[in-house]
Amino acid sequence: MSKFDPADSLGALAAPQISEYLTGINDLKGAARYVGGMAGGQGLIGAASPYDHTGAVLGYIPPGGVGPRHDIVGLSQIPGDKTLVGKRIKITLDKFYVHNYPGLGTHNILCEFAGRNQAKSAAEPLQFALRFRARDKDAAAIGGVPLFLGLTVGANGISFEGRTINVSSDGDETVLSTLDSPAFQSGLKLLTTTQPALKPLSSLAEAVVKNVLKRRFNKQVHSFDLGLDFGANVSSARLQLGTYLVVQSNLSADWKWDAFVWNTDAQVLQAKDQGQPVDFNYMVFGISDYVADPED
């Protein structure tokens, strides 16, 4: 069962509620697009903004390759790599592109990630949070941000999900500054045995997010579940080393990955025929081998 619910996202609300939220954060132009219930809400065609979407389209780019343009495939088209079972991997956040978020100017965005580490004695739950700033049609100033380091792959793959939260209420800076500490900036470093010290850190991350979400003008914008396994079902999302793209979109039924490429020079997702960045918010994660330090 997923920890984060798409129904909690802004785009799942009715148009009048979205308009009220945007008005409350002084995004009057954005609010006007929802007046009269003509746009917004789960499942409506012609979304007014990228944050109307509550679904996720998942893509994959294999490691290696040459040239600036790399093809992308859907996760159902790749086989799971069962040789990873029992091995340790690292998960990094390599790109967070904001095409459009609620509010004006520079957005303050809180990201929360959850997973599970298959340590020898038990499966320990993981919770991690980071905050970023970005403007519309730009990316957060990040690259290869460590999330989980040394995650052990279980027989059924890995559990990994996340969500983003738009932070617009006043007075949250003190709480959010907790996430600027070295403990959060260096990612969760995991061992092959259970770590009692991880529980307080995960609990602190969860508490920060819960505290932020209690405020009126802070709202979940997107959630996704990137649980990766080795199943043969056509609906399975499979685990390999490489790059995973999570696009905030309800268009999964009509999405064609062969219409897009990843431009490594510009580090952007582009339409293949036009070379223009996509009109969606998206995140890019790297999954690679973990090289243990001697003390691990």
How many residues does the structure list for the chain?
296
Over residues 132-170, the pLDDT tens digits come to 999 999 999 888 899 999 999 988 899 999 999 999 876
Q: How do residues 6-45 score in pLDDT, each as one tens digit?
A: 999 999 999 999 999 999 999 999 999 888 655 544 434 4
Tokens representing residue 252 in the block: 């999964």
DSSP 143: S
Residues 154 and 85: beta-carbon distance below 8 Å: yes
CB distance 107 to 98 below 8 Å: yes
Give the confidence band of 296 by pLDDT, cuts at 50, 70, 90: low
Helix (H) or strand (E) holding 22: helix 15-24
Considering only the C-alpha atoms of the chain, give the largest distance between any 2 of them, rounded to a whole number of Å: 62
Distance linking the first and last C-alpha atoms of the chain = 31
- Any long-range contacts for 229-237 (C-beta under 8 Å, 24+ apart)? 229/80, 229/156, 229/157, 230/80, 230/81, 230/82, 230/85, 230/156, 230/157, 231/80, 234/76, 235/76, 236/75, 236/76, 236/80, 237/58, 237/75, 237/76
Nearest residue to 178 (alpha-carbon basis) of 130, 112, 106, 125: 130
pLDDT in tens, 211-258: 899 998 999 999 999 989 998 787 788 999 999 999 999 988 889 999
Indicate the residue type of 101: Y
Q: What pLDDT is stored for residue 44 in this prediction?
A: 40
Q: Is the whole model's pTM more than 0.85, yes or no?
A: yes
